Protein backbone atom coordinates (compact mmCIF):
# COMPACT_ATOMS: atom_id res chain seq x y z
CA UNK A 1 0.00 0.00 0.00
CA UNK A 2 1.26 3.50 -0.83
CA UNK A 3 1.08 6.37 1.65
CA UNK A 4 1.19 10.15 1.22
CA UNK A 5 4.61 11.67 0.75
CA UNK A 6 5.93 15.16 0.35
CA UNK A 7 7.78 15.65 -2.94
CA UNK A 8 9.95 18.58 -3.88
CA UNK A 9 9.44 19.23 -7.56
CA UNK A 10 12.32 20.23 -9.78
CA UNK A 11 15.50 19.85 -7.80
CA UNK A 12 14.98 16.31 -6.60
CA UNK A 13 13.46 15.02 -9.80
CA UNK A 14 16.88 15.07 -11.44
CA UNK A 15 18.54 12.93 -8.76
CA UNK A 16 19.13 9.41 -9.95
CA UNK A 17 21.23 6.42 -9.08
CA UNK A 18 23.28 4.62 -11.68
CA UNK A 19 21.50 1.43 -12.67
CA UNK A 20 18.57 2.03 -10.34
CA UNK A 21 15.32 3.93 -9.90
CA UNK A 22 15.52 7.72 -9.49
CA UNK A 23 14.21 9.93 -6.70
CA UNK A 24 11.39 10.80 -6.18
CA UNK A 25 10.06 7.64 -7.85
CA UNK A 26 12.26 5.63 -5.52
CA UNK A 27 10.17 6.86 -2.60
CA UNK A 28 7.34 4.68 -3.92
CA UNK A 29 9.54 1.63 -3.36
CA UNK A 30 10.04 2.52 0.29
CA UNK A 31 6.35 3.41 0.66
CA UNK A 32 5.36 -0.02 -0.60
CA UNK A 33 7.75 -1.81 1.76
CA UNK A 34 6.82 -0.26 5.08
CA UNK A 35 3.75 -0.55 7.28
CA UNK A 36 1.01 2.03 7.61
CA UNK A 37 2.72 3.30 10.78
CA UNK A 38 5.69 4.63 8.80
CA UNK A 39 5.77 7.41 6.22
CA UNK A 40 8.14 8.74 3.58
CA UNK A 41 8.92 12.37 2.81
CA UNK A 42 10.81 13.09 -0.38
CA UNK A 43 12.84 16.25 -0.90
CA UNK A 44 12.59 17.72 2.60
CA UNK A 45 15.44 19.04 4.71
CA UNK A 46 16.11 17.43 8.08
CA UNK A 47 15.53 19.38 11.27
CA UNK A 48 18.67 18.90 13.30
CA UNK A 49 20.34 20.39 16.33
CA UNK A 50 23.08 21.90 14.18
CA UNK A 51 22.82 23.04 10.57
CA UNK A 52 26.60 22.97 10.12
CA UNK A 53 27.62 20.22 7.65
CA UNK A 54 24.27 18.52 8.21
CA UNK A 55 23.26 15.60 5.96
CA UNK A 56 21.14 16.47 2.90
CA UNK A 57 19.05 13.39 2.09
CA UNK A 58 16.84 12.66 -0.88
CA UNK A 59 14.18 11.38 1.50
CA UNK A 60 13.38 11.00 5.18
CA UNK A 61 11.58 7.87 6.28
CA UNK A 62 9.95 8.20 9.70
CA UNK A 63 9.61 4.74 11.19
CA UNK A 64 6.46 3.88 13.11
CA UNK A 65 7.08 0.17 13.57
CA UNK A 66 10.36 -1.43 14.63
CA UNK A 67 10.17 -4.20 12.03
CA UNK A 68 10.08 -1.58 9.26
CA UNK A 69 13.75 -0.72 9.78
CA UNK A 70 14.87 -4.03 8.30
CA UNK A 71 12.53 -3.59 5.33
CA UNK A 72 13.91 -0.10 4.65
CA UNK A 73 17.50 -1.34 4.73
CA UNK A 74 16.64 -4.20 2.35
CA UNK A 75 15.11 -1.80 -0.18
CA UNK A 76 18.01 0.61 0.22
CA UNK A 77 20.52 -2.16 -0.40
CA UNK A 78 18.61 -3.38 -3.45
CA UNK A 79 18.74 0.08 -5.05
CA UNK A 80 22.20 1.06 -3.76
CA UNK A 81 20.82 3.86 -1.59
CA UNK A 82 22.98 5.14 1.26
CA UNK A 83 21.33 5.65 4.62
CA UNK A 84 21.78 7.32 7.98
CA UNK A 85 19.75 6.60 11.10
CA UNK A 86 18.75 9.44 13.40
CA UNK A 87 16.78 9.66 16.62
CA UNK A 88 17.43 12.86 18.56
CA UNK A 89 19.21 14.38 15.52
CA UNK A 90 21.75 15.99 17.83
CA UNK A 91 24.95 14.45 16.43
CA UNK A 92 27.17 17.36 15.38
CA UNK A 93 30.20 15.76 13.72
CA UNK A 94 31.11 16.64 10.15
CA UNK A 95 31.65 13.00 9.13
CA UNK A 96 28.26 12.92 7.40
CA UNK A 97 28.54 12.34 3.66
CA UNK A 98 24.86 11.61 3.00
CA UNK A 99 23.57 13.52 -0.02
CA UNK A 100 20.54 13.61 -2.30
CA UNK A 101 21.06 9.99 -3.30
CA UNK A 102 20.59 8.84 0.29
CA UNK A 103 17.90 8.58 2.95
CA UNK A 104 17.58 9.34 6.64
CA UNK A 105 15.93 6.56 8.62
CA UNK A 106 14.22 8.55 11.35
CA UNK A 107 13.46 6.35 14.37
CA UNK A 108 12.32 9.21 16.62
CA UNK A 109 8.75 7.84 16.85
CA UNK A 110 9.85 4.47 18.27
CA UNK A 111 9.11 5.38 21.88
CA UNK A 112 8.06 2.18 23.65
CA UNK A 113 9.38 1.84 27.25
CA UNK A 114 8.59 -1.06 29.62
CA UNK A 115 10.07 -2.08 32.98
CA UNK A 116 10.19 -5.58 34.40
CA UNK A 117 8.32 -6.34 37.62
CA UNK A 118 11.17 -5.65 40.03
CA UNK A 119 12.40 -2.57 38.09
CA UNK A 120 15.88 -4.03 37.51
CA UNK A 121 15.55 -3.96 33.71
CA UNK A 122 13.94 -1.66 31.19
CA UNK A 123 13.27 -2.42 27.52
CA UNK A 124 12.98 0.55 25.19
CA UNK A 125 13.18 1.49 21.52
CA UNK A 126 15.65 3.66 19.66
CA UNK A 127 13.50 6.81 19.55
CA UNK A 128 13.57 7.18 23.32
CA UNK A 129 15.35 10.34 24.43
CA UNK A 130 17.06 10.84 27.77
CA UNK A 131 14.16 12.90 29.10
CA UNK A 132 11.73 10.12 28.07
CA UNK A 133 13.62 7.36 29.89
CA UNK A 134 14.37 9.47 32.97
CA UNK A 135 10.71 10.44 33.30
CA UNK A 136 9.53 6.85 32.88
CA UNK A 137 12.06 5.57 35.41
CA UNK A 138 11.10 8.20 37.96
CA UNK A 139 7.43 7.34 37.56
CA UNK A 140 8.29 3.67 38.04
CA UNK A 141 10.28 4.24 41.25
CA UNK A 142 13.53 3.53 39.49
CA UNK A 143 16.74 5.21 38.40
CA UNK A 144 18.65 4.73 35.12
CA UNK A 145 22.13 5.85 34.09
CA UNK A 146 21.91 8.22 31.12
CA UNK A 147 23.68 11.23 29.65
CA UNK A 148 23.20 14.78 30.91
CA UNK A 149 21.32 16.31 27.96
CA UNK A 150 17.57 15.64 27.83
CA UNK A 151 17.16 15.91 24.05
CA UNK A 152 19.78 13.27 23.16
CA UNK A 153 18.93 9.68 22.22
CA UNK A 154 19.70 7.25 25.03
CA UNK A 155 20.83 4.56 22.61
CA UNK A 156 22.71 7.00 20.38
CA UNK A 157 24.75 8.29 23.30
CA UNK A 158 25.23 4.85 24.82
CA UNK A 159 26.64 3.28 21.66
CA UNK A 160 29.50 5.78 21.83
CA UNK A 161 30.09 5.22 25.54
CA UNK A 162 27.64 7.51 27.31
CA UNK A 163 28.80 9.60 30.28
CA UNK A 164 26.34 11.09 32.74
CA UNK A 165 25.43 11.97 36.32
CA UNK A 166 25.36 8.31 37.36
CA UNK A 167 28.67 7.31 35.72
CA UNK A 168 30.56 7.21 39.01
CA UNK A 169 28.01 4.88 40.61
CA UNK A 170 26.82 2.79 37.68
CA UNK A 171 29.30 3.14 34.83
CA UNK A 172 28.82 4.32 31.27
CA UNK A 173 25.62 4.16 29.27
CA UNK A 174 27.09 1.29 27.29
CA UNK A 175 27.70 -0.59 30.55
CA UNK A 176 23.93 -0.60 31.14
CA UNK A 177 23.19 -2.64 28.02
CA UNK A 178 22.03 -6.22 28.56
CA UNK A 179 20.68 -7.04 25.10
CA UNK A 180 20.66 -5.25 21.76
CA UNK A 181 18.26 -5.75 18.84
CA UNK A 182 19.67 -4.44 15.58
CA UNK A 183 19.43 -4.55 11.82
CA UNK A 184 22.71 -5.54 10.21
CA UNK A 185 24.25 -4.55 6.90
CA UNK A 186 22.27 -7.24 5.07
CA UNK A 187 18.96 -5.92 6.41
CA UNK A 188 18.54 -8.84 8.78
CA UNK A 189 17.25 -8.52 12.34
CA UNK A 190 19.79 -9.76 14.89
CA UNK A 191 19.78 -9.99 18.68
CA UNK A 192 23.16 -9.54 20.33
CA UNK A 193 24.16 -10.28 23.93
CA UNK A 194 27.55 -10.51 25.65
CA UNK A 195 27.47 -14.30 25.28
CA UNK A 196 25.80 -14.71 21.89
CA UNK A 197 28.48 -12.75 20.02
CA UNK A 198 31.22 -11.37 22.32
CA UNK A 199 33.19 -9.64 19.53
CA UNK A 200 30.19 -7.80 18.08
CA UNK A 201 29.01 -6.93 21.59
CA UNK A 202 32.42 -5.45 22.36
CA UNK A 203 32.33 -3.34 19.18
CA UNK A 204 28.78 -2.10 19.78
CA UNK A 205 29.85 -0.79 23.18
CA UNK A 206 31.81 2.24 22.04
CA UNK A 207 31.59 2.16 18.24
CA UNK A 208 28.03 0.97 17.74
CA UNK A 209 26.98 3.17 14.80
CA UNK A 210 29.59 1.40 12.63
CA UNK A 211 27.99 -2.01 13.08
CA UNK A 212 24.24 -1.76 12.64
CA UNK A 213 21.02 0.09 13.30
CA UNK A 214 19.99 -0.59 16.87
CA UNK A 215 16.19 -0.66 17.11
CA UNK A 216 15.68 -1.57 20.78
CA UNK A 217 17.62 -2.64 23.87
CA UNK A 218 17.29 -4.16 27.31
CA UNK A 219 19.00 -1.87 29.82
CA UNK A 220 19.84 -1.96 33.51
CA UNK A 221 17.52 -0.19 35.92
CA UNK A 222 17.95 0.47 39.62
CA UNK A 223 14.90 0.37 41.95
CA UNK A 224 14.61 3.66 43.82
CA UNK A 225 11.55 5.13 45.60
CA UNK A 226 10.76 8.63 44.38
CA UNK A 227 11.27 10.12 47.81
CA UNK A 228 14.87 8.86 47.83
CA UNK A 229 15.59 9.52 44.16
CA UNK A 230 17.18 12.94 44.69
CA UNK A 231 20.52 14.71 44.47
CA UNK A 232 22.06 18.04 45.49
CA UNK A 233 22.99 20.21 42.51
CA UNK A 234 22.56 23.64 40.93
CA UNK A 235 24.52 26.48 39.38
CA UNK A 236 27.21 28.48 41.14
CA UNK A 237 28.03 31.78 39.43
CA UNK A 238 31.53 33.23 39.76
CA UNK A 239 33.25 36.44 38.83
CA UNK A 240 35.73 35.69 36.06
CA UNK A 241 38.54 37.09 38.20
CA UNK A 242 38.19 33.89 40.28
CA UNK A 243 38.76 31.64 37.25
CA UNK A 244 42.22 30.37 38.25
CA UNK A 245 40.99 29.56 41.76
CA UNK A 246 37.97 27.70 40.42
CA UNK A 247 39.99 25.71 37.88
CA UNK A 248 42.63 24.82 40.46
CA UNK A 249 39.99 23.68 42.94
CA UNK A 250 38.27 21.48 40.34
CA UNK A 251 41.61 20.01 39.28
CA UNK A 252 42.38 19.01 42.87
CA UNK A 253 38.98 17.46 43.57
CA UNK A 254 38.96 13.74 44.29
CA UNK A 255 35.78 12.74 42.48
CA UNK A 256 34.09 10.07 44.55
CA UNK A 257 31.44 7.90 42.83
CA UNK A 258 28.60 10.13 44.09
CA UNK A 259 30.24 13.27 42.66
CA UNK A 260 30.09 14.92 39.25
CA UNK A 261 30.66 18.48 38.04
CA UNK A 262 30.21 20.64 34.94
CA UNK A 263 31.59 24.10 34.40
CA UNK A 264 30.65 26.60 31.70
CA UNK A 265 31.80 29.67 29.90
CA UNK A 266 28.48 30.94 28.59
CA UNK A 267 26.91 34.33 27.87
CA UNK A 268 30.19 35.91 28.95
CA UNK A 269 29.98 34.35 32.41
CA UNK A 270 31.66 31.62 34.45
CA UNK A 271 29.37 29.04 36.06
CA UNK A 272 29.93 25.75 37.90
CA UNK A 273 27.38 22.95 38.31
CA UNK A 274 28.33 20.60 41.17
CA UNK A 275 26.36 17.38 41.58
CA UNK A 276 26.23 15.10 44.60
CA UNK A 277 24.20 11.92 44.86
CA UNK A 278 23.19 12.45 48.47
CA UNK A 279 22.26 15.15 50.95
CA UNK A 280 22.94 18.87 50.71
CA UNK A 281 25.08 18.69 53.85
CA UNK A 282 27.34 16.04 52.37
CA UNK A 283 27.38 17.70 48.96
CA UNK A 284 28.57 20.99 50.44
CA UNK A 285 31.32 19.17 52.31
CA UNK A 286 32.52 17.35 49.21
CA UNK A 287 32.60 20.55 47.14
CA UNK A 288 33.72 22.86 49.96
CA UNK A 289 36.91 23.88 48.13
CA UNK A 290 34.82 25.36 45.32
CA UNK A 291 32.14 26.88 47.52
CA UNK A 292 34.77 28.53 49.72
CA UNK A 293 35.98 30.61 46.74
CA UNK A 294 32.79 32.60 47.10
CA UNK A 295 30.26 32.44 44.25
CA UNK A 296 28.30 35.54 43.28
CA UNK A 297 25.16 33.42 43.44
CA UNK A 298 24.38 29.93 44.74
CA UNK A 299 21.36 28.24 43.12
CA UNK A 300 22.00 24.77 44.53
CA UNK A 301 19.23 22.65 46.06
CA UNK A 302 18.16 19.05 46.54
CA UNK A 303 16.09 18.15 43.48
CA UNK A 304 14.33 15.01 42.14
CA UNK A 305 15.82 12.68 39.56
CA UNK A 306 13.52 13.83 36.76
CA UNK A 307 14.98 17.37 36.97
CA UNK A 308 18.70 16.57 37.28
CA UNK A 309 19.40 17.52 33.66
CA UNK A 310 17.29 20.69 33.59
CA UNK A 311 20.31 23.01 33.70
CA UNK A 312 21.31 21.79 30.24
CA UNK A 313 17.95 22.28 28.53
CA UNK A 314 19.11 25.58 27.04
CA UNK A 315 21.51 23.60 24.86
CA UNK A 316 18.65 21.67 23.24
CA UNK A 317 17.57 24.54 20.99
CA UNK A 318 17.60 23.34 17.38
CA UNK A 319 19.01 25.21 14.43
CA UNK A 320 21.96 27.51 14.00
CA UNK A 321 25.48 26.46 13.16
CA UNK A 322 27.47 24.66 15.88
CA UNK A 323 30.83 23.28 14.71
CA UNK A 324 31.89 21.84 18.06
CA UNK A 325 35.36 20.56 19.03
CA UNK A 326 36.47 18.60 22.07
CA UNK A 327 39.41 17.17 23.99
CA UNK A 328 39.73 14.63 26.77
CA UNK A 329 41.31 16.30 29.78
CA UNK A 330 43.10 14.70 32.70
CA UNK A 331 44.71 17.83 34.18
CA UNK A 332 43.15 21.30 34.39
CA UNK A 333 45.91 23.89 34.01
CA UNK A 334 44.75 27.31 35.35
CA UNK A 335 47.04 29.23 32.96
CA UNK A 336 45.72 27.32 29.94
CA UNK A 337 42.13 27.88 31.05
CA UNK A 338 42.74 31.60 31.49
CA UNK A 339 43.95 31.63 27.87
CA UNK A 340 40.84 29.69 26.88
CA UNK A 341 38.66 32.24 28.67
CA UNK A 342 40.39 35.17 26.95
CA UNK A 343 39.96 33.56 23.53
CA UNK A 344 36.32 32.74 24.29
CA UNK A 345 35.57 36.26 25.48
CA UNK A 346 37.22 37.78 22.40
CA UNK A 347 35.16 35.61 20.05
CA UNK A 348 31.98 36.23 22.05
CA UNK A 349 32.45 40.01 22.00
CA UNK A 350 33.69 40.29 18.41
CA UNK A 351 30.79 38.40 16.82
CA UNK A 352 27.43 39.41 18.37
CA UNK A 353 25.52 36.75 16.42
CA UNK A 354 27.64 34.11 18.19
CA UNK A 355 26.42 35.19 21.63
CA UNK A 356 25.27 31.66 22.52
CA UNK A 357 28.77 30.24 22.03
CA UNK A 358 29.58 28.04 25.00
CA UNK A 359 32.47 26.12 26.49
CA UNK A 360 31.25 23.17 28.52
CA UNK A 361 33.47 20.85 30.55
CA UNK A 362 32.12 17.73 32.23
CA UNK A 363 34.09 16.00 35.01
CA UNK A 364 33.42 12.54 36.46
CA UNK A 365 34.53 9.94 38.92
CA UNK A 366 36.37 7.16 37.09
CA UNK A 367 36.02 4.59 39.89
CA UNK A 368 33.21 2.51 38.38
CA UNK A 369 34.59 2.81 34.84
CA UNK A 370 37.94 1.39 35.94
CA UNK A 371 36.27 -1.29 38.05
CA UNK A 372 34.26 -2.49 35.04
CA UNK A 373 37.28 -2.28 32.72
CA UNK A 374 37.45 -2.44 28.96
CA UNK A 375 37.45 -6.19 28.27
CA UNK A 376 33.80 -6.18 27.20
CA UNK A 377 33.71 -2.69 25.71
CA UNK A 378 35.45 -0.86 22.87
CA UNK A 379 35.18 2.45 24.74
CA UNK A 380 38.85 3.44 25.26
CA UNK A 381 38.75 6.40 27.68
CA UNK A 382 37.63 4.94 31.02
CA UNK A 383 40.42 6.71 32.90
CA UNK A 384 39.56 10.20 31.62
CA UNK A 385 38.45 12.68 34.28
CA UNK A 386 37.05 15.57 32.20
CA UNK A 387 35.71 16.22 28.71
CA UNK A 388 36.03 19.79 27.38
CA UNK A 389 33.83 20.98 24.52
CA UNK A 390 33.71 24.29 22.71
CA UNK A 391 30.48 25.02 20.82
CA UNK A 392 30.60 28.07 18.55
CA UNK A 393 26.92 28.93 18.05
CA UNK A 394 25.82 31.33 15.29
CA UNK A 395 23.59 31.57 12.22
CA UNK A 396 25.51 32.82 9.18
CA UNK A 397 27.78 30.54 7.09
CA UNK A 398 30.00 33.59 6.58
CA UNK A 399 31.28 33.05 10.12
CA UNK A 400 32.30 29.42 9.54
CA UNK A 401 36.02 30.11 9.06
CA UNK A 402 36.37 32.28 12.16
CA UNK A 403 34.31 29.88 14.26
CA UNK A 404 36.32 26.84 13.25
CA UNK A 405 39.63 28.64 13.74
CA UNK A 406 38.57 29.71 17.23
CA UNK A 407 37.38 26.22 18.23
CA UNK A 408 40.47 24.52 16.80
CA UNK A 409 42.71 26.84 18.84
CA UNK A 410 40.95 25.77 22.01
CA UNK A 411 41.17 22.07 21.18
CA UNK A 412 44.89 22.51 20.48
CA UNK A 413 45.32 24.34 23.79
CA UNK A 414 43.56 21.53 25.67
CA UNK A 415 45.50 18.82 23.90
CA UNK A 416 48.74 20.52 24.93
CA UNK A 417 47.74 21.04 28.56
CA UNK A 418 45.48 18.07 29.26
CA UNK A 419 48.02 15.78 30.90
CA UNK A 420 47.17 12.95 28.50
CA UNK A 421 47.69 11.99 24.87
CA UNK A 422 45.63 13.75 22.19
CA UNK A 423 42.21 12.13 22.38
CA UNK A 424 38.55 12.98 21.91
CA UNK A 425 35.33 11.32 23.05
CA UNK A 426 33.44 10.20 19.93
CA UNK A 427 30.09 11.66 21.00
CA UNK A 428 31.64 15.13 21.36
CA UNK A 429 34.25 15.01 18.57
CA UNK A 430 34.30 17.25 15.50
CA UNK A 431 35.14 14.73 12.79
CA UNK A 432 38.57 15.89 11.58
CA UNK A 433 40.51 13.95 14.23
CA UNK A 434 42.67 10.93 13.36
CA UNK A 435 40.74 7.76 14.15
CA UNK A 436 43.39 6.89 16.73
CA UNK A 437 42.32 10.00 18.68
CA UNK A 438 38.74 8.71 18.69
CA UNK A 439 39.05 4.96 19.19
CA UNK A 440 42.43 4.79 20.92
CA UNK A 441 43.76 1.32 21.67
CA UNK A 442 40.53 -0.25 20.35
CA UNK A 443 41.08 0.98 16.78
CA UNK A 444 42.91 -2.00 15.26
CA UNK A 445 40.43 -4.58 16.57
CA UNK A 446 37.48 -2.39 15.56
CA UNK A 447 38.78 -2.11 12.00
CA UNK A 448 39.16 -5.89 11.78
CA UNK A 449 35.61 -6.38 13.03
CA UNK A 450 34.32 -3.73 10.64
CA UNK A 451 35.61 -5.78 7.72
CA UNK A 452 33.82 -8.81 9.11
CA UNK A 453 30.44 -7.30 9.98
CA UNK A 454 30.15 -4.43 7.49
CA UNK A 455 32.51 -5.24 4.60
CA UNK A 456 30.69 -2.92 2.16
CA UNK A 457 30.71 0.06 4.52
CA UNK A 458 26.95 0.45 4.82
CA UNK A 459 27.30 2.10 8.23
CA UNK A 460 29.87 4.76 7.41
CA UNK A 461 28.29 8.05 8.37
CA UNK A 462 29.56 8.39 11.95
CA UNK A 463 33.35 8.29 12.43
CA UNK A 464 33.63 5.44 9.94
CA UNK A 465 36.13 2.66 10.54
CA UNK A 466 36.46 1.86 6.84
Residue-wise pLDDT for 39-75, tens only, equals 999 999 899 999 999 999 999 999 999 999 999 999 9
Q: How many CB atoms lie within 10 A of CB 20?
A: 13
User: For residues 296 and 103, what is the distance between their CA atoms, to the nearest angstrom?
Assistant: 50
Reported as a single tens digit per residue, the pLDDT across 239-283 is 999 999 999 999 999 999 999 999 999 999 999 999 999 999 999
The whole-chain average pLDDT of the chain stands at 94
Give CA 288 to chain center in angstroms.
31
Residue 6 confidence (pLDDT): 36
The answer on pLDDT for 10 being more than 60 is no
User: For residues 389 and 386, what is the distance between their CA atoms, to the nearest angstrom?
Assistant: 10
Alpha-carbon separation of residue 48 from 11, 56, 168, 322, 429 (angstroms): 21, 11, 31, 11, 17
Reported as a single tens digit per residue, the pLDDT across 70-91 is 999 999 999 999 999 999 999 9
SS3 content of the chain, % helix, strand, coil (to 5): 35, 20, 45
User: For residues 236 and 295, what is the distance between their CA atoms, to the nearest angstrom?
Assistant: 6
Reported as a single tens digit per residue, the pLDDT across 85-120 is 999 999 999 999 999 999 999 999 999 999 999 999
Q: How many CB atoms lie within 10 A of CB 251?
A: 18
Report DSSP state, residue 14.
T
Average pLDDT of the segment spanning 152-178? 98
Residue 5 confidence (pLDDT): 37
Give CA angle at 44 (43, 50), nearest 5°: 135
The answer on pLDDT for 203 being more than 90 is yes
CB 205 within 8 A of CB 404: no
User: For residues 202 and 378, what is the distance between their CA atoms, to the nearest angstrom?
Assistant: 6
The per-type count for the chain, helices as H runs and strands as E runs, is: 15, 20
CB 326 within 8 A of CB 388: yes
Reported as a single tens digit per residue, the pLDDT across 317-333 is 999 999 999 999 999 99
SS3 441: helix
The answer on pLDDT for 3 being more than 60 is no
Residue 8 confidence (pLDDT): 36
Phi, psi of 226 (to 5 degrees): -55, -40
The answer on pLDDT for 204 being more than 60 is yes
What confidence category does residue 20 fall into, taking pLDDT thresholds of 50, 70 and 90? low
Residue 18 confidence (pLDDT): 39
Query: Cis before residue 24, ω within 30 degrees of 0?
Result: yes
Residue 341 confidence (pLDDT): 98
Strand 297-298 versus strand 236-238 pairing type = antiparallel
Amino acid sequence: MLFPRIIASAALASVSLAGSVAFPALCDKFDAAVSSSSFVKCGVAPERWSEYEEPQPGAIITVGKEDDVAKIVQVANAFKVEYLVQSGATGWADTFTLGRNGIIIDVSQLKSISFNKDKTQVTFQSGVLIEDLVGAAYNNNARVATGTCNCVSVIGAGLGGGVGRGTGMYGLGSDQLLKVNLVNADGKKVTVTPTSNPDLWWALNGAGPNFGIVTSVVYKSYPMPQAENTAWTGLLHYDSSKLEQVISAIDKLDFEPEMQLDFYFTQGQLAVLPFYLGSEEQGRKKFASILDIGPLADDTAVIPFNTWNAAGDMFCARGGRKPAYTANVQTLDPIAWRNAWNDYLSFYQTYPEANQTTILTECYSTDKNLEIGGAKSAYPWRDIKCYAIVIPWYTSPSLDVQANDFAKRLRHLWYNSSGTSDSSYVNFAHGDEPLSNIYGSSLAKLQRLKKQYDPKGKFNEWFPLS
